[in-house]
Structure 1
Amino acid sequence: MAQSNVTLFTVNAILILDNDSHRILTQYYQPPHPYPHNQYASAYPTIKEQRIFEKGLFDKTHKQGTDIILYDNHIVVYKEVVDVIIYVVGGLNENETMLYQVVLALRDSLEILLKHSLDKRTIIDNYDLVSLAVDETVDDGIILETDPIVISTRVTRPPTNDTTINLDLSEQGLMSALQLVRAKVSERVKQAL
């Protein structure tokens, strides 16, 4: 009877490349603990090997009509959007449908976060949001979330409203502030008794 290794580590890499196969964002994952037969070890441990993989992958997928391919013993799902390509790379035994859900969730959450302006310039200008969205979708190769709305709400920026406090530093303003503080202190003392 064959032994199957069940694991949560399903994603080997997430890549966002431009139309010239240049990196915009790349995340290669490797489980933190060793597995039998080094099954989940990174196939591309050096940047040189990663760039060779990315260039070959880009050459095979650029301007193609499919969304799922088998490349270099990996299942690769991808989506082309304007002038970027988003890739999710998994092992040969991974579920293509699940990997496809990850790429769709990442694309849709980025469209929400970047206000439907998913292009190279916008991604670079908002690199922090893009990186956080990737981290909220997949962490160390483990799929965390595939709902783009949930991902985008976890990644939103704090409000940019510039709230300024107008202080009345006149004698009248200071007296009313002092009365307010006295009333609050008096109220707290009464509650303590």
Structure 2
Amino acid sequence: MQPNISLYTINAVVILDSDGRRLLARYYSPPHEYPQHQFANPYPGRKEQRTFEKGLFAKTHKFDTDIILFDNRVVVYKKVADVVIYIVGGLNENESMLYGVVLALREALKLLLEDSVDKRTIVDSYDLVALAVDETVDDGIILETDPEAIAARVSQLPAYESSVQNLDLSEQGLMNAYQLAKGKLAERLRQGF
């Protein structure tokens, strides 16, 4: 019998506020079918997701544990100020690995949001939070567990933005760019492309 090994270890990443309302949720399914649908998303619709989230919040908001078994899923979570970050994995997933993901995501958010991981900051900086989640987990596959690497990828400027900021649009700057382009073209023509 073959072991059930897969890269698809995360079923969901959910961030709820202190009242159990969704701030961010990502539910994952592998892009192809597995035998016996063992890695398929058990919450395909919005109604199932809301029901799951309400039950999960009801089960966890009174307790200070970090790992629970809920709805045949291993759930690890961390409370930070007035939000709760949940990582949901399959029944046979390694709890330590899932716990490492929730810690990495929490620490990356602390770095990105300058130690202000609360409901208001998450809503105001939703784009950074969503990018941090996407840099940590992609389609249920754990990509990164180093918080500094996650924060660096999220906050890194694209190459074209930094070059546009240093662009000299004065008359002299445009003449310099024209002369440089003219010289490069002449050089290429002499080399025969």
TM class by shorter-chain length?
Answer: 0.7 to 0.9
Higher-Rg member (1/2): 1
1:165 to partner: Cα distance? 5.0
Equivalent position of 1:128 in the other structure: 127
TM-score (norm 2): 0.84
How many residues are paired up? 186
After superposition, the Cα gap between the structure-2 partners of 1:185 and 1:121, relative to the gap in structure 1 and judged at 3 Å, is same
Q: Which runs of 4+ in 1 moved over 4 A?
A: 162-166, 176-193
Q: Work out whether 1:167 is the aligned partner of 2:170.
A: yes
Cross-structure match for 2:144 = 145
Paired residue secondary structure (2:74): strand
Q: 1:102 to 1:190 in 2, by over 3 A?
A: closer
Q: CA separation of 1:3/1:112 partners in 2, compared to 1, >3 Å: closer, same or farther?
A: same
- CA gap of 1:190–1:157, structure 2 versus 1, over 3 A, is closer
2:32 paired with 1:29: no
Aligned to 2:13: 14
What secondary structure sits across from 1:69 in the alignment?
strand
Aligned to 1:109: 108
Is 1:71 paired with 2:80? no
Measured after TM superposition, the shift of residue 43 of structure 1 is 1.1
Instruction: Please state how far the C-alpha of 1:38 moved relative to its aligned partner.
Output: 1.2
**What displacement does 1:167 show?**
3.5
Give the C-alpha shift of residue 187 in structure 1.
Answer: 9.3
84-93 or 63-72: bigger deviation: 63-72
Structure 1 length normalisation: TM-score?
Answer: 0.84
Label 1:16 to 1:179 Cα distance change in 2 as closer, same or farther (>3 A): closer
Amino acid at match of 2:106: R
Superposed CA offset, 1:21-51 (max 9, x none): 1000000001111011111111111111111
Per the alignment, do residues 115 and 183 of structure 1 end up closer, same or farther by CA in structure 2, a change over 3 Å counting? closer
Q: What percentage of residue pairs aligned between the two structures are identical?
A: 56
User: Which structure 1 residue ranges, 5 or more long, are not aligned?
Assistant: none
Residue 152 of structure 1 aligns to a residue whose secondary structure is: helix
Give the deviation of 1:60 after TM superposition.
0.8
**Residue ranges of structure 2 left out of the alignment (5+ in a row):** none
Superposed CA deviations along residues 54-81 of structure 1, whole A, max 9, x for unmatched, are 0110011114111000111000000000
8 Å Cα contact 2:136-2:142 kept in structure 1? yes
CA distance in structure 2 between the aligned counterparts of 1:43 and 1:190, rounded to whole angstroms = 61
Give the superposition deviation at 1:179: 8.6
Identify if the C-alpha distance between structure 1 residues 188 and 110 changes in structure 2 by more than 3 Å, giving closer, same or farther. same
Q: CA RMSD in A?
A: 2.8
SS in 1 for 2:110: helix
Q: Which amino acid aligns with 1:95?
A: N
In the other structure, the counterpart of 1:86 is 85
* Distance change >3 Å, CA 163–CA 74, structure 1 → 2: same
Find the residue that maps to 2:42 and give its secondary structure: coil
Structure 2 vs 1, CA of residues 121 and 73 (structure 1 numbering), >3 Å: closer, same or farther? same
Give secondary structure in 2 for the equivalent of 1:99: helix
